Structure 1
């Protein structure tokens, strides 16, 4: 498909129409955001944590190297900025709208899945001991040896949300989608062997991986937590990207499905109109019976002017 026709579809000319077409998708995004908000405020499952299990949960309680507020900036705002830059070059509202919609779906679906699993599993974080007993004095049930936490309830509740890592899943969802997006735009699989393109694609994944590493270094997560979070984010981002765009190795991998559908419909309509005009000309031509040489001359004139109406045809007789 020709890329030079992209400038026909801008936000001003087609933005409102595209947004109305996908109004239900935006409503679903709102529902996902509400669900994730609820999952973040409900109490997670408090699984049994015996006195003997505390040996592996005594890591220091540290601050986050990557704070919570920074994750949406890296996973959402940074990809949106790159998508916006591409729009300024191509002026394709279909690419702009579907890329942002796919990105938000990727992150929010990942967030809902991650937080639902967190609440259901209730795995203690590596620093759970100091969350549970900030004074360092452990208190346990005399019979079951289960913990009897004496710390702040909010801190303890957060201590039961180790599996999987939310920082990691969000990062791989947003930056994983960006990696897919970039690979299509720069045609990384064009079979020309430019390995430098792969470095561009891998860079967002490297950033996501370093965020995942920071979660282990800060003792907020076990290594299994970040591995699972990364897989969730990558899987969801792949599904969401392929919902709106062809695979990057496809010949049309640089643009969204919707753009090519619009081109196909436009070409089909133009072909139908051209065929209808040709048929009308042929019908007008054969409806005038030749009687003598003068009529033949008039018929030739009629054939050369296929736009004559019925009254003009009557006068020719």
Structure 2
């Protein structure tokens, strides 16, 4: 049976959809910091999820539901006659890599959308009622990326590639990775304190110590002195 969502397209969507959105929004706002933090957050989330998933796949393993089809058991030889790589991959069912990848990228995007719109923080005051300021509209918008990740996870059970436990654990790995990496670079989308007029939608400033602050502007004193001497 074919895959409804291939590994290639799953990675493309989980990685490049958030990056493109970060770049477009950051470009419109002329904020290199937002682009920088957004790209680093999604790369870190996908990297962390993949690290945990691959560790568990090699540590736990578990046969996939379609392992017998991959094995192509020969009664005479009493051995599997399928392709070696296919058989080996059939022993790495737990956890679902598709699920962890999809949720690490898409849940991070949902967190970012919630951080930009305050959709998950119901204590933030709202402006006059319009479609763009509707709490329901914003809430639904933040659920769209999660809906895609959920579809990917469900498709792995439908395609007979994973057990339901594999998909659940893989999804939780992706969610946890996205949550950790998002909070490194962006404020908590559930906290009303992060939605005041000054900090609304802005990324964290990772370096605030005085040693990292530039207190003196660059000067071209020596160059100016040389020019004066020439005259």
Corresponding position: 1:255 with 2:186: no
Q: 1:125 to 1:93 in 2, by over 3 A?
A: same
Give ranges in structure 2 of 5+ residues lacking alignment. 127-133, 217-231
User: Pairwise mapping of residues 56-205 of structure 1 onto structure 2 (< 5 A)?
Assistant: 62-133=1-72, 137=75, 148-188=79-119, 189=121, 190-192=124-126, 194-205=135-146
State the distance in 2 between where 1:174 and 1:78 align: 8
Q: 1:139 to 1:238 in 2, by over 3 A?
A: farther
State the distance in 2 between where 1:226 and 1:236 align: 15
State the distance in 2 between where 1:129 and 1:170 align: 26
Mapped contact 2:115–2:188 kept (Cα < 8 A) = yes
State the distance in 2 between where 1:212 and 1:138 align: 38
**Which runs of 4 or more aligned residues in structure 1 lie more than 4 Å from their structure 2 counterparts after TM superposition?**
137-140, 259-262
State the distance in 2 between where 1:138 and 1:179 align: 54
Cα offset, 1:253, TM superposition: 4.9
Mapped contact 1:124–1:162 kept (Cα < 8 A) = yes
State the distance in 2 between where 1:261 and 1:197 align: 32
State the distance in 1 between where 2:76 and 2:180 align: 46
Mapped contact 1:103–1:174 kept (Cα < 8 A) = yes
Mapped contact 1:94–1:259 kept (Cα < 8 A) = no
Q: Taking structure 1 as the reference length, what is the TM-score of the superposition?
A: 0.58
Cα offset, 1:150, TM superposition: 2.5
Mapped contact 2:61–2:93 kept (Cα < 8 A) = yes
Mapped contact 2:10–2:98 kept (Cα < 8 A) = yes
State the distance in 2 between where 1:236 and 1:130 align: 33
Aligned residues: CA RMSD:
2.3
Cα offset, 1:88, TM superposition: 1.9
Q: 1:219 to 1:253 in 2, by over 3 A?
A: farther
Q: Which has the higher relative contact order, 1 or 2, with Cα contacts under 8 A spaced 6 or more apart?
A: 2
Q: 1:75 to 1:269 in 2, by over 3 A?
A: same
| Larger helix fraction of residues | 1
Cα offset, 1:194, TM superposition: 1.2
Corresponding position: 1:225 with 2:172: no
Structure 1 residues 34-64: Cα deviation after superposition (integer angstroms, max 9, x where no partner): xxxxxxxxxxxxxxxxxxxxxxxxxxxx221
Q: Taking structure 2 as the reference length, what is the TM-score of the superposition?
A: 0.79
Q: 1:211 to 1:246 in 2, by over 3 A?
A: same
State the distance in 2 between where 1:79 and 1:114 align: 21
Cα offset, 1:261, TM superposition: 4.3
Give ranges in structure 1 of 5+ residues lacking alignment. 1-61, 141-147, 271-317
2:135 partner SS: coil
